[in-house]
Amino acid sequence: MPILKNIGFLATCKEEGGQGAIHPIRNAAVAWKEETIQWAGKETNIPDTYAEYEPVDAGGKMVIPGLIDCHTHLAFGGWRSDEFTMRVKGKSYLDIAKTGGGILSTVRGTRNASEEELYKKASSFLEKMSALGVTTVECKSGYGLSVKEELKILRVYRRLSETHPMHIVSTFLGAHAIPPEYEGDREGYIDLVIEEMIPAVSGEDLAEFCDVFTEESAFSVRESRRILFAAQVAGLTPKIHADQLTSCGGGELAAELKAASADHLEKISDNGIEAMADAGVVGVMLPLASLYTQEKPLNCRKLVEGGVKVAVATDFNPGSAPSYNLPLAMMLSCNQGRLTPEEALKGATIYAAKALNRDHELGSIEKGKSADFAVINAPNPNFWIYHFQPNDCIMTVSKGEVTHSEDRK
Ligand SMILES: N=CN[C@@H](CCC(=O)O)C(=O)O
Ligand SMILES: [Zn+2]
């Protein structure tokens, strides 16, 4: 059984105390047995029980809970680098979608890929995410848009969760776009989602959450409510891509349905913020998406001051956010979203766990929680995020196993 010693700064990230309270312990140690944390505290106070534990030296560095990326579209076929150039030259995300690009382009690429190809590609992303200190990844479907293809993507996630020492949380996103074969028959597609996809997904227990892209150009509030209500009845918890491009009431709907999270929120209304705060819905900032689509970023301060807990995620996908770098998203959530580094850290740990209804087992360094942490080559969160470097993660421990380790003198 290992004990990590010589930790200069342990950011425990316990939930209480608000967005910026990371509850640090200086000169700390953490002991774990198999997948579970046994003890965390000051090194001078290590109980005798852990005297026989095998010491691992943290080199005086910072230790944080394993990072949680609570919003990704991890499995997809192809890429969309052509759209990147088009957007740089002034075409909007919606203009590109209207001419057959955007989500539907990735639907073609994903339908053309085998389950094995999707598995291998997604698996290589997970390895690189793990090297950045990430130990939990939420993964959405939504590039299949037929019963067979949506199940194919969700089965990739199931296999990843069985083969990788990371926590994989699956979300069904059949209502991401209307597929070409249902053009002109949106009611028909929504019926397919409700009557065939949701029962199939819940029947095979392939997802915990159901997400909808609630947007003028995607699914209306009325349509989203219908879909999410059916999902709730089938045992899936709602999540919403809300108020990204237009203020259309996605935040309010998330509150009404007691969704686990409402994500994006660049155009959230004041009423939406109030409703989310009252209902305890976590707001998820996705700064890479606003950066790549050249949209005004979400001002997280308004949410924090309005009583909403804010999580930070990458939104990793081949179109609007083609990077899985969660520390980069955290840095942007500070520079563009006005979170402090400590607030961003809480947003990528315990509040991200909350957005996945996993805060009882993930997201903080406390006795009884999953042994997930990252050793970071920085003295504290402020210096880490301020002096942003390609990768400051020296070691990642996920479910008690070392999944990444790098010798740095
Ligand atoms: N907004 C909708 N869905 C994704 C984008 C997916 C894509 O562009 O392929 C998002 O979260 O940004
Ligand atoms: Zn997304």
Residue 283 above 90 pLDDT? yes
Q: Given ligand 1 and candidates 99, 145, 320, which is best to mutate, with the most ligand atoms within 8 Å of its CB?
A: 320
Q: pLDDT above 90 covers what percent of the chain? A: 97
Residue 409's contacts (CB-CB under 8 Å, 6 or more residues apart) are none
Encode pLDDT of 215-230 as tens digits: 999 999 999 999 999 9
> Predicted confidence band at 170 (pLDDT cuts at 50, 70, 90)?
very high
CA of 73 to the centre of ligand 2 (A): 6
Q: Taking residues 327-334, what's their average pLDDT?
A: 98
| Residue 37 CA, ligand 1 centroid: distance in Å | 36
> Is the model's pTM score more than 0.90?
yes
For ligand 1, the distance from its centroid to the CA atom of residue 41, given in whole angstroms, is: 41
Query: Does ligand 1 have an atom closer than 6 angstroms to the CB of 102?
Result: yes
Name the pLDDT band for 51 (thresholds 50, 70, 90): confident
Calpha distance 139→315 (Å, rounded)? 10
**CA dist 263 → 122, 211, 317, 329 (Å):** 22, 10, 14, 14
Cα 173–Cα 229–Cα 200 angle in degrees, nearest 5: 50
Q: Are strands 67-69 and 134-140 parallel, antiparallel or unpaired?
A: parallel
Question: H or E stretch including 213?
Answer: strand 209-214
pLDDT tens, position by position, 86-104: 999 999 999 999 888 999 9
Residue whose pair of structure tokens reads 């083609």 in the numeric block? 322
Please give the mean pLDDT across all residues of the chain.
Answer: 97
CA atoms within a 13 Å half-sphere pointing along the CA-CB vector of 364: 21
pLDDT at 407: 64
Q: Find out whether the beta carbon of 103 lies less than 6 Å from any atom of ligand 1.
A: yes
Q: Is 320 in the pocket of ligand 1 (CB under 6 A)?
A: yes
The closest ligand to the CA of 175 turns out to be: 1
Question: Higher model confidence: residue 375 or residue 51?
Answer: 375
User: Residues 294-318: pLDDT tens digits?
Assistant: 999 999 999 999 999 999 999 999 9
pLDDT at residue number 409:
41
Does ipTM exceed 0.90? yes
pLDDT tens-digit readout, 249-266: 999 999 999 999 999 999
Neighbours of 116 (CB within 10 A): 10
Most ligand 1 atoms within 8 A of CB, residue of 241, 298, 323 to mutate: 241
